[in-house]
Amino acid sequence: MSRPMTLAEKIIARAAGLASVAPGNVVTCAVDLAMMHDSGGPRRVKPLLEKLGVKVWNPDKVVVVTDHYVPAVDAESAAILDLTRKWTKQQGIEAFHDMQGICHVVLPERGHLQPGMFVVGGDSHSPTGGAFGCFMFGIGATEMAGVLATGETWVRVPGTILIEWNGRLGRGLSAKDIMLRLCAELGMGGGDYQVVQYAGEAVRAMGMAERMTLCNMAAELGGQTGMIAPDATTRDFLLQAGAKNVDIETWQPDPGATYLKHLSFDASMLAPQVAAPHSPANAASVEQHCGVAIDQAYIGACTGAKLEDLHMAAEILRGRKVASGLRLLVAPASARITTQAASDGTLAALTEAGAILLSTGCGACAGYGAGVLAEGEVCISSTARNFKGRMGAGTSKVYLGSPYTVAAAAVAGRISDPREMLAEKPR
């Protein structure tokens, strides 16, 4: 009888064609799906595949998304997008989502993920897919070329760090606050390139958008990936996205599985978190940063501009105005989210408050296109990272917070506790 396995070990064993695996084993796995975007994808792998004299092993198992250089703002951006579109067509890849949103959001939104899949992505925030019970991690262009040529990759089986959040989050708090707290508690290397698996009452109560934020920012903890065992919430989301026969029963950790660490936190005791420049690990309670004046507030990125994130911001902004002399920029994470937010009145609430609506895409989060910062400017952002110079000039300063906290700062003109503004409004 095989040893009890964690969720990650079960998926890796299946992909490797083995009955069982254990941490430290080096195995070769068949890849169920490979995802690339315009920045690190075709323009990087095309010359490598040409040198090898091969084409994509299975076009039906590849997804390409344009999200970094969209819409093109100069001739160089346009050339990168042109190459991406032509290469994707030449390779016969039908799952091409052009200017439809950020890859980590588009992938599950379009029904490409299923529990139990072994997935690689050409971006460091690929662990987002772990919210759906997948083993999904980021790889570089050279390794991606190998996957595209062979349909396989090797992996050293990671251990799993189980992090439980029990209790319930208070009003004005979100998954982003949980992750900033973990970044401060564990540090940027606390995940030790292992699996970070989330569980507990607070996690079970979350919708998929919030779970995606938890898994996405496993990258900020230094984990290989983040994961959440699938449940009815997972199944309902994927069925609505067009998936069929979603299996949540098979893909559960075994009773008695061994974990590297088991950490437990109380969500009901958590205060809104803000990370000071220039690291997510510089997080602390919002009260330690209250009063810091800002020039720009940014609600965007795979971590901070899903529909639920926009709802959070609208809860603060509805009936209020953005402070004079301050820019509030909003870049929804996908075209579908933009449509949904327009239909339910969320965009109206944001723009009536003075927010400026930007195109969907990675945008200023990665230092591309509209919204980048000038020398010395201060921004509070719903993005996952605030490394020096990432969002613009090297002397700019970026603070990180939840959409609630970013919106509250936009109204006050300075970093503020969003709970104070929410207390002025009935539920």
- 26 to each of 33, 84, 224, how far by Cα in Å? 20, 33, 15
* 331, 399: one domain: yes
* 177, 305: one domain: no
* 158, 84: one domain: yes
* 212, 296: one domain: no
- Please report the pLDDT score of residue 365 as a whole number: 87
Q: Last residue of a domain, which of 196, 230, 265?
A: 265
Residues 237-287 pLDDT 10s: 999 999 888 999 999 999 999 999 999 999 999 999 999 999 999 999 999
Tell me whether residue 344 is in a domain: yes
* 158, 34: one domain: yes
* 296, 411: one domain: yes
Which CATH number goes with the domain that contains 110? 3.30.499.10
* 47, 134: one domain: yes
Pairing of strands 152-156, 26-30: antiparallel
Find how far residue 269's CA is from the centre of its chain: 25
Tell me whether residue 237 is in a domain: yes
Tell me whether residue 212 is in a domain: yes
CB 107 within 8 A of CB 63: yes
Measuring CA to CA, which residue among 37, 103, 63 is closest to residue 335? 103
Residues 3-57 pLDDT 10s: 899 999 999 999 999 999 999 999 999 999 999 999 999 999 999 999 999 999 9
* 278, 346: one domain: yes
* 180, 218: one domain: yes
Q: Which domain holds residue 308?
A: 274-423
The overall pTM is greater than 0.85: yes
The residue to which tokens 């990125």 are assigned: 301
Q: Which residue ranges of the chain lie beneath pLDDT 50?
A: none
* 241, 282: one domain: no
Tell me whether residue 378 is in a domain: yes
The residue to which tokens 């299946």 are assigned: 14
Domain count, the chain: 2
Tell me whether residue 2 is in a domain: no
* 211, 335: one domain: no
Tell me whether residue 253 is in a domain: no
Tell me whether residue 17 is in a domain: yes
Q: Last residue of a domain, which of 234, 265, 296?
A: 265
